[in-house]
Amino acid sequence: MAATDKGASRVLIIGGGFAGLECARTLAGDSRFAVTLVDRTNHHLFQPLLYQVATASLAAPDIARSIRQILADAPNVTVLMDEIVTLDPVAKFATGSSGGRYDFDYILLAAGARTSYFGKSEWADHTLGLKSLADAQGIRRIVLSNLEKAELTENQGDRRRLMTVAIVGGGPTGVELSGAFSDLVHRSLRTNFRRIDTSKLKIVLIEGSARILEAFDEDQSEYTRQRLKEIGVEVWTGMRVDDVRKGSLHFTDGTVLEAEAIIWAAGVEANPLTAMLGVPLADRAGRVTPNGDLSLPGLPHVFVAGDLVRMKDADDKPVPGLAPAATQMGRHIAKLLKEEKRLEQGRFADKKLDLRPQFRYLDKGFMAIIGKNHAVAKAGKLKMKGLLAWFAWLFIHIAFLIGFRNRLSVLLGWAFAYIRDNPEARIIVNPPGTKPQW
């Protein structure tokens, strides 16, 4: 195996999301590995709370942290901000848009997923996705700016369009966004405007199949639909989008919905770098199926993890596209590399590939919040809904924010504002149509 001057194996990690960061953290401090983590942004993002940034409950820095800072104490890990544009798994190098070349002995591709428009990429011009901080800030800016414009205009038609938010995709992201927009206009902004009644904001959640939250049980889907109705969200199921134009959604049954803000939460596809791995793609979403140890067939030095993977684990259970699954995969790969290093130096050197452990996913369940005080959760046979599930959500996310922000005062500020329905993150920076000030 090639190595650095000091004999360390070069590990290239593409992506500082849940999978990549966990792999780097597990290898941190182990001088047998020279790790390079490349991410096109300078921060690790906690995507499960993106919708709170989009709906003005949290500010961007609350859910993102500098990758460089997280790994500051690991001398064997180098963090670089660059976008990987090519990848050659056989010649063992990747290149970045900066012109940089990254040679490796092992590589982990953990570049996640991006918003999918089912082959209609032109729809992206008229919709807002929710995958990055920029997306979340864009949604917040446009929805808040539309309310400002609605307050200004006397034209009832314009006001109706400005005060309609369409959310396509009835999965957890769509449900959480709809509930949070309802909270925003019914609770937080209730007394802020004089000419418009913000509680009249029309929020439409659109799902192509027969029910929302398909991954949950049917009674939980029905509970969610009822709860959304109670808080003023219209739920349209069985409605397939045929076309998206500026300010309007067109459905296959001829229905047209005019909405100034159209949010696309209908699906994701793997990062296009998977096409450079030289293995067949497992589905139309561009994901790849690795061996049970998370390496690729015929390429034992190439690993994949997180949202760009489609696989069943060692117990034949499908591994979901969730943060805990990505984290567990990243950790599995790092532990495997460490163990392999040990074997390499011992008498099992020729057997190391046969001895590789297979990935086993520990299912921690999933949940969706439906506005304040209500949520649904499912973990194995355990099911929860209502206030209890909401408290479980709050507990888990507060625990996360404590670890993430490391400042109890900021956390308490958020919790206080959240409970009082008075979030601070409502400032519109660079309203649509203006140029940033340098």
Ligand X SMILES: Cc1cc2nc3c(=O)[nH]c(=O)nc-3n(C[C@H](O)[C@H](O)[C@H](O)COP(=O)(O)OP(=O)(O)OC[C@H]3O[C@@H](n4cnc5c(N)ncnc54)[C@H](O)[C@@H]3O)c2cc1C
CA 375 vs CA 223, 235, 345: distances in Å: 9, 17, 51
Q: Give the amino acid at 279.
A: V
Q: How far apart are CA 206 and CA 77, in angstroms?
A: 44
Q: Which position's Cβ is nearest ligand X?
A: 17
Nearer to ligand X, 3 or 379 (CB): 379
Nearer to ligand X, 317 or 342 (CB): 317
**Cβ-count burial of 427 within 10 angstroms (0-12 exposed, 13-18 middle, 19+ buried)?**
exposed
Residue 122 beta carbon to ligand X: minimum distance, rounded to whole angstroms: 22
Please, how many CA atoms are within 13 Å of residue 134, restricted to the half-sphere of its CB?
2
Residue 352 beta carbon to ligand X: minimum distance, rounded to whole angstroms: 26
CB 184 within 8 A of CB 231: no
Q: How many other β-carbons are positioned within 10 Å of the β-carbon of residue 12?
A: 22
Element (H or E) spanning 66, and its range? Answer: strand 64-66
Residue 18 beta carbon to ligand X: minimum distance, rounded to whole angstroms: 4
* DSSP character at residue 86: E
Nearer to ligand X, 362 or 435 (CB): 362
| Measured CA angle at 121 (ends 94, 38), to 5 deg | 25
Q: How far apart are CA 169 and CA 153, in angstroms?
A: 30
Residue 363 beta carbon to ligand X: minimum distance, rounded to whole angstroms: 11
CA 43 vs CA 24, 37, 71, 283: distances in Å: 14, 12, 11, 29
| Measured CA angle at 404 (ends 421, 382), to 5 deg | 75
Q: How far apart are CA 221 and CA 212, in angstroms?
A: 6
Check if 122 is active-site.
no
Q: Which residues pair with 296 in a beta bridge?
A: 299
Single out the catalytic residue among 176, 207, 260, 269. 176
Q: How far apart are CA 413 and CA 405, in angstroms?
A: 12
Residue 43 beta carbon to ligand X: minimum distance, rounded to whole angstroms: 8
- The contact set with ligand X (CB under 6 A) reads 14-20, 38-41, 47-48, 50-51, 83-84, 110-112, 130-131, 173, 271, 273, 306-307, 321-324, 326
Nearer to ligand X, 20 or 290 (CB): 20
Nearer to ligand X, 111 or 277 (CB): 111
Nearer to ligand X, 163 or 262 (CB): 262
Residue 383 beta carbon to ligand X: minimum distance, rounded to whole angstroms: 17
| Helices and strands in the chain, H and E counts | 10, 23
Q: Catalytic residue numbers?
A: 176
